[in-house]
A and B are shown apart, each in its own frame.
Chain A
């Protein structure tokens, strides 16, 4: 008998269940790309059969961090850059949970970059959505790790001397096993990609272009977008690492030249961290969290370890 009956519950799910009763209307600016992520999630979650009680949405800090204030699931709004370590531990403690982590580009590729690299490397079974608006929004428009070279802001008054980070390439090199880029201006694709990412067994990384009309570009600047799977101009095998790498490189360059290339860039069937750890005997087959509610569970004692000390 499970102590977590929401997990694996089979029933009809209405997307409105994912609208927060207490805070139905987000505080994001009009025209903000973050609405696109929220909408895509609300559509994707019922589609893949997940209920609000079995989803844990873990966010960082920034406008994107408010996601779980407006998405009705279990939520953990953590600290700047640290959504991934919190999220992956929750998944380790109870891998029945559907864990979705989210944060901005500064959160994920800047202050939390180390966690991004290692969570991808370990291939934790979870979805990570990076709200990439190429700027720090909530602190009023400073240059971020994805801001293009030359970007002017109050912290770079003469223009940014740094080249932007390459988020897709970084995900690939680090070891993510599902890598996609979508955009708020492309709601159908966004929903589909989020659904695929949730269903993927491993670390799914979505670089989600969320325009920031207040401090950076508005929605029009992400149009027209090109879906690399649908366009005849691009032909590559998403399961081929080298081809994926070339495609990512091109997409990252193109963004700063005004062409928005989106779609799936890489998929790999490498076993998830949880599965590998279980196979090595480094993680229980049954969720650890269940054991604390099992009245018949036998708990080991240090008393039985004393032989080596006597």
Chain B
């Protein structure tokens, strides 16, 4: 845990403007030279229900949510249901305050809106007593009245930010600039500026500064941009030349879909919201077949509907990129909570011996990088490529240097022929183009047979989900079957070779190289694990870590070398059935006795301290249970 950091939590009900307020605040923090990282916690509900956004900011790199937090701005839930003792939801009005207390660190600050949170309710919480025990500093203030006085009630979040700025000793100008830069104009802008200033003044006039917490200092060497994993996936797609997307709304995938839909029309592209996810994936296949770089995506339930078109893309060797944004399952599960439990589903869904590529980016930059790579691989190797991520990465905002995005677009269609090239391409005795060549004497040694596009002269062929001959005709001939199936599967080996030889590794290694204890994780849990590994090493427990992104084709060499180099590995993932551990064992065919699991599946992402604690228990060979809501699943035979 870093002493010099701010973890600010703004809590209220859905509809209270928590998200937009936190965006503005995060931007101010970033502009002031701090690294920021946000975490969204919200219910599947439009109005009301306990929601918060956490912003972690520090003068050093932050890549995960922290352990707990140190500043609470409890706005109260203006859409709370009436308190009812017998109802399971209890008293919703007080929740922005009551639900957040357990995680507030010692010495923390609490600002709460007395306009919405009643004195009686606060008394029931024993807040004063608890504050004394924990050295919390209380700043009750009627934010609602202040907002009403100058503008509208919803502007009490601006008042709350004003209080925050004052208590942390922040320069006010950047806030004013940020509000002026935002979508607000005219009276609304002026009202917000007035509220902000007055809140700040009141704090200085009426409160005694008993707390130590102040804004950390920091400086960036270059200009930064604040963006989420969903932004990064959309931007990676745009830079890869993707100009066609089809989808159906579903949380959390909707973010990527809406960002793309917002930009594609003005970029000469096409976005289609369609009747269901079967259609969405089928449209991506159709558009790609006709010569567009195309994508689709969904979250678990919607992705389930895509299984059959996914198989069609595999069999017809039609390049597509799909994104799967995981949320807690099974079935409807917990729509707004993250989980990493769709891995096996995404790896193996669709019938037959199928082949696909799956990347699981570990952070915002990797989300951009691997989405670009996904399009490159899909179009070069004519294979569906899937980006699997989760609600956490989808919505978390972090700062990335602007220069990171300053690179050339890559709209190339990969192994697609021009009409000129088609003339030289393989044709059978009757003059028909051989779209799916497999003879050993042809130039398809990497498994890829170049494709033509409908409308090109001389490239006619039949694409079919049935097994087929080189010209695409349906065939159940055993020799042809073996050739074609083996050729399609061979592409995975070719892709592995390209990834190993021509690209920087998608796997991230960190920690003490000489350590005997290792942690492996995948996808978006990488940031928390990385921080945990740093802390373990700082505390004198040598540990090394590996964040894996290549789910398929599997990075066999890198993972084998890592496991071989340590005595025990803890596999950290957000699911209950240790899916990635199982995947490692299946791919490598061993190591069952060496892989312990640390699992979390309560709907909240890992905090670094939870990983530190569990790892220490394993290193010490302790039988104790972790205090956090996580589960250690020992290795086979342990």
Contact = CB atoms under 8 A, between A and B. Distances in A.
Given A75-B463, A97-B455, A282-B271, A310 B294 contact: no
B290 A6 contact: no
Question: Most B CB atoms within 10 A — which of A22, A77, A78, A86?
Answer: A86
Interface stretch (A216-224, A227-235, A300-308): A300-308
B460 A93 contact: no
B243 A85 contact: no
Residue of B223, B412, B456 with highest tally of chain A CB at under 10 A: B456
Interface in A253-310: 277, 281-284, 288-289, 291-293, 297, 299-303, 305-306, 309-310
Contact of A79 (B288, B312, B416): B312
B290 A52 contact: no
Nearest to B316: A76
Contact of A115 (B231, B275, B308, B402): B275
B290 A90 contact: yes
Contacts of A21: 430-432
A187 interface: no
B140 interface: no
A97 B308 contact: no
Most B-side CB within 10 Å, residue of A94, A299, A309:
A309
A310 B223 contact: yes
Interface SS of chain B: mixed
B457 to A, nearest CB: 5
A250 to B, nearest CB: 30
A292 B292 contact: yes
B463 A53 contact: no
Give the secondary structure class of A's interface. mixed
B308 A79 contact: yes
Nearest to A116: B275
Interface string B442-466: 0000000000011111111111111
B291 A85 contact: no
Interface string B223-246: 111110001001110110101101
B178 to A, nearest CB: 11
A54 interface: yes
Given A76-B463, A284-B268, A300 B473 contact: no
B457 A94 contact: no
Interface stretch (B108-116, B155-163, B278-286): B278-286
Contact of A22 (B282, B316, B471): B471
B289 interface: yes
Contacts of A5: 419, 456-457
A183 B294 CA distance: 38
Contact of A114 (B275, B461, B466, B474): B275
B172 interface: no
B265 interface: yes
Most buried by B among A21, A72, A305: A305
A7 B282 contact: no
Contact of A77 (B276, B428, B465): B465
B41 interface: no
A69 B462 contact: yes
B225 A4 contact: no
A90 B286 contact: yes
A300 B290 CA distance: 21
Contacts of A79: 282, 308-309, 311-312, 465
Contacts of A42: none
B235 A305 contact: yes
A4 B473 contact: no
A103 to B, nearest CB: 13
A299 B282 contact: no
B274 A86 contact: no
A72 B289 contact: no
B455 A289 contact: yes
B367 interface: no
A269 to B, nearest CB: 24
B287 to A, nearest CB: 4
A301 B409 contact: yes
Contacts of A292: 241, 291-293, 411-413, 416
Given A22-B432, A69-B462, A92-B244, A289 B238 contact: no
B523 interface: no
Contact of A97 (B235, B280, B454, B464): B454
Given A89-B284, A301-B239, A82 B308 contact: yes
Contacts, number: 231
Nearest to A89: B286
Interface in A1-38: 3-7, 9, 21-23
B162 to A, nearest CB: 23
B418 interface: yes
B633 to A, nearest CB: 39
Contacts of B294: 89, 93
- B282, B413, B465 interface centre (most CB from chain A within 10 Å): B282
A233 B557 CA distance: 79
Interface string B14-44: 0000000000000000010000000000000
B456 A90 contact: no
Contact of A85 (B224, B227, B283, B456): B283
A235 B14 CA distance: 60
B292 A93 contact: yes
A6 B407 CA distance: 36
B457 A291 contact: no
B291 A310 contact: no
A180 B283 CA distance: 26
A179 to B, nearest CB: 20
A132 interface: no
A139 to B, nearest CB: 15
A68 interface: yes
A75 B462 contact: yes
Nearest to B30: A310
Interface in B258-317: 263, 265-272, 274-276, 278-280, 282-294, 308-309, 311-312, 316
Nearest to A23: B473
A51 B213 CA distance: 76
A94 B292 CA distance: 8
Contacts of B405: 301-303, 306
B460 A72 contact: yes
Contact of A53 (B231, B291, B458): B458
A300 B283 contact: no
A310 B224 contact: yes
B276 A89 contact: no
Contacts of B418: 3, 293
A85 B282 contact: yes
Interface string B325-362: 00000000000000000000000000000000000000
B216 interface: no
A251 interface: no
A85 B285 CA distance: 9
Nearest to A292: B413
A201 B416 CA distance: 30
B316 to A, nearest CB: 7
A86 B455 contact: no
A94 B454 contact: yes
Contacts of B309: 79, 82
A56 interface: yes
A102 to B, nearest CB: 14
Most chain A Cβ neighbours within 10 Å, of B244, B263, B275, B368: B275
Interface string A198-242: 000000000000000000000000000000000000000000000
Given A79-B282, A93-B292, A94-B291, 14 more contacts: A5-B419, A6-B455, A21-B431, A21-B432, A72-B460, A76-B316, A76-B463, A78-B285, A89-B287, A90-B454, A92-B244, A115-B275, A289-B453, A291-B268
14 contacts: A4-B453, A4-B455, A74-B460, A75-B462, A76-B464, A85-B282, A89-B285, A115-B279, A288-B291, A288-B292, A292-B241, A302-B405, A310-B31, A310-B225
